[in-house]
Amino acid sequence: MANLGGVSEAFARGHSQLTALCELAMNIGSQGGVKTRLCGLIQASCHLRSLHLQTPPLRSESSVGRPRVLVNCVGQGRFLTVGPLSRPLLAAFATIAVMIKCFNSIKIVIIRDMTTTAPSTPAVQLLEVSPEYAGQRIDNFLLARLKGVPKTLIYRILRKGEVRVNKGRIKPEYKLQAGDIVRVPPVRVPERDEPVPLAQGLLQRLEASIVFEDKALIVINKPAGIAVHGGSGLNYGVIEAFRQLRPDCKELELVHRLDRDTSGLLMIAKKRSMLRHLHTALRGDGVDKRYMALVRGNWAASIKQVRASLGKSNLRSGERMVEVDEEEGKESVTVFKVLRRFGDFATMIEAKPITGRTHQIRVHTLHAGHCIAGDTKYGDDDFSKEIRDLGGKRLFLHAYMLTVPLPDGGELKLQAPVDEMWAKTVERLSAPL
């Protein structure tokens, strides 16, 4: 018991907790008698935060594949690697890990293989939410941390209650609080040394689309046809591309979203503080976003606002649709203004969404009797075909104007031009018959 006493004294004096714990394991591994040293082990373990056991395949006998142990004690702020170790000493560390876990003295115990070929074994994670992430939705929190995990899987583990906050079940819209403890279940992520490099043509196109950039924010004029993020069969989107374009910006996140086929102004935060600031502004009335849309027919001047609650539904094919649902839908409001008329055939309108529901402008224009040209989900095939015949092979919805408040009290006002296809189609539409 003398050695264990020395270990406890080392902890009490604030000496190297890592070294003391390793000496304890060496002592147990070389002399045995684990049961008689239980009291001292509990005293030592109360200072331990996590113990990671990394073991090579049993067939490996080389020093490269010998077991190593990663230990992290409270207050150390780093991991210490101990090893390579013999099998008896590895067994001692394994004993410590199991016993400490039984006494609930640490947050995480992970046992895995240390090898360059075998994938690591997924393990439960317990993550403490720092103040800078307070107010973020749990689904977005998980999406940012479980890189490569399909969005459908993240929502499945939320729905099944495998993700817990402070030991309780939560919904995807739950907003985190500083100090929350998030339990993340084992999720197997494909091993990737580096993200798949994207085509230089795409990267150059997105680099050229930047209309504003400073140390905290990027705003681009997103081309139609490019998704804002990967998922649903897509390996990449705007955010994945900019993480390759700006590798030194470790906190890049989308501030909001645009549909894949919608073009126009899209904000990307380079700092967490800017992301929080803009999310707060978006929840209020601080952000002014305006869209242009080419719609079927002669839009009546009397239609200045559409207020119709929207709800989501799934078709038999699995496709998600949004429809007006006054009983169970969410309140949705869009303000409209006529910009230009093309006789009774079409109208160019401005749409200002007051709320931010999925497909809101597309469904509200349809509800008003004037669907958007090129809309394969909510549009009119005959109208869209006539526009295609004029060269308009895209969705005619474009986020052209943006006004946002800045953290220093200033204001950022931006406009984005339409692409060449849009401009030439409108030019042909305006030509006399």
Residues with a catalytic annotation lie at 259
CA angle 50, 56, 60 (to 5 degrees): 160
Evaluate whether 218 touches 267 at the Cβ level (below 8 Å): yes
Strands 125-128 and 181-184: antiparallel
Tokens standing for residue 104: 């609930």
Q: Please return the burial class of 239, using the count of CB atoms within 10 Å of its CB with bins 0-12, 13-18 and 19+.
A: middle
- In the block, tokens 């929207």 appear at 310
- Amino acid identity for residue 80 in this structure: L
Give which of 112, 60, 110 is closest to 87, Cα–Cα.
60
181-184 sheet: strands from edge to edge: 125-128, 181-184, 164-165, 168-169
DSSP state of 37: G
What's the angle, vertex CA 139, arms to CA 135 and CA 142, rounded to 5?
100
Residue 249 vs residues 242, 270, 280: alpha-carbon distances, Å: 9, 6, 22
Residue showing tokens 């408040």: 405
Helix axes 2-12, 38-45, angle to 10 degrees: 20
Instruction: Kindly provide the residue ranges of all beta strands, DSSP E only, lying in 261-419, ordered along the sequence.
Output: 263-269, 288-296, 305-307, 310-314, 320-324, 333-342, 346-353, 397-405, 411-415
- The Cα 339–Cα 294 span in angstroms is 10
How many residues are listed for the chain in this entry?
433
Task: Return the exposure string of 205-230: e unless at least 16 CB atoms fall within 10 Å of the residue's CB, then b.
Answer: ebeebeebeeebbbbbbbbbebbbbb
Residue 425 to residue 24: CA distance in whole angstroms: 77
Tell me if 238 sits within 8 A of 222, measured CB to CB.
Answer: yes
